[in-house]
Chain A
Amino acid sequence: MKILLILLAISLGVSNPQKKDPDHILDEVKRTFNKVQDYVVDVNIKVDVDFIKAPETKATIYFKQPDKVHFESESFAMLPKEGLDFSPMGFLKEKYTAIYEKADTVDGYKTDVIKVIPLVDETNVVLTTLWIDESRYIIRKVQSTLKMGGTFAIELKYDNSMKYPLPSSMIFTFNIERMNLPKGMTGELNENKSKDEKKKTTGKVYVTYSNYKVNKGIPDSVFEEKK
Chain B
Amino acid sequence: MIKIINIELYKIFKKWRTYIGFIAIAVLIPVIQIAMLVEGEKSINFMTRNLQQSFVFVGNLLNAYLVSYIILNALAVHIPFLVALVTGDLLAGEATAGTYRLLITRPVSRMKLVTSKFFAGIIYTTLLVLWLSILSLGLGTLIFGAGELIVVKPTTVIIFARNDVLWRFLLAYGFAVLSMSVVASLAFLFSSLVENAIGPIITTMAVIIVFLIVSAIEINIFQAIRPYLFTSYMLSWRLFFDDPVDVSEILKSVAVLFGHIVLFYGLAACIFKRKDILT
A residues contacting B by CB (< 8 A) are 47, 51-55, 59, 71-81, 84, 148, 152, 174, 176-183, 185-191, 193-194, 197, 203
Most chain B beta-carbon neighbours within 10 Å: one of A177, A178, A180, A188: A188
User: Are B51 and A78 closer than 8 Å at their CB atoms?
Assistant: yes
Query: By the criterion CB–CB under 8 Å, are A190 and B154 in contact?
Result: no
B235 within 8 A of A: yes
Contacts A188-B238, A189-B216 given; does A180 touch B51 at CB 8 Å: no
Residue of B nearest to A183 (CB): B154
Find out whether the CB atom of B155 lies under 8 angstroms from the CB atom of A194.
yes
* Residue of B59, B70, B150, B226 touching A75 (CB-CB under 8 A): B59
- Residues of chain B whose beta carbon lies under 8 Å from any beta carbon of chain A: 47, 50-51, 53-61, 70, 73, 147-148, 150, 152-162, 164, 212, 215-216, 226, 232, 235, 238, 243
On whether the beta carbons of A53 and B243 are closer than 8 Å, the reply is yes
Contact check, A76 vs B159: say whether CB atoms are below 8 A apart. Answer: yes
Q: Contact at B159–A54, with CB atoms within 8 Å?
A: yes
Task: Assess the B50–A80 pair: CB atoms within 8 A.
Answer: no
CB of B39 to closest CB in A, whole Å: 14
Contact A53 B159 (CB under 8 A): yes
> In the complex, are the beta carbons of A181 and B164 less than 8 A apart?
no
Known: A179-B50, A190-B215, A203-B54. A76 touches B155 (CB 8 A): no
**Is chain B's binding surface mostly helix, strand, loop or mixed?**
mixed
- Cβ-defined contact, B54 with A76, below 8 A: no
Tell me if B154 and A180 are in contact (CB < 8 A). yes
Task: Find chain B residues with CB under 8 A from A183 CB.
Answer: 154, 216
Check if B59 sits within 8 Å of A179, measured CB to CB: no
Q: Which of B73, B152, B226 contacts A190 (CB 8 A)?
A: B226
Given contacts A52-B156, A53-B158, A189-B215, contact A76 B60 (CB under 8 A): yes
Whether the Cβ atoms of A71 and B153 lie closer than 8 Å is: no
22 A-B pairs within 8 Å (CB atoms) are namely A52-B51, A52-B159, A53-B157, A71-B56, A75-B148, A76-B57, A76-B61, A78-B55, A80-B54, A81-B53, A81-B55, A176-B51, A179-B156, A181-B152, A181-B153, A185-B154, A188-B153, A188-B154, A190-B226, A190-B232, A193-B154, A194-B155
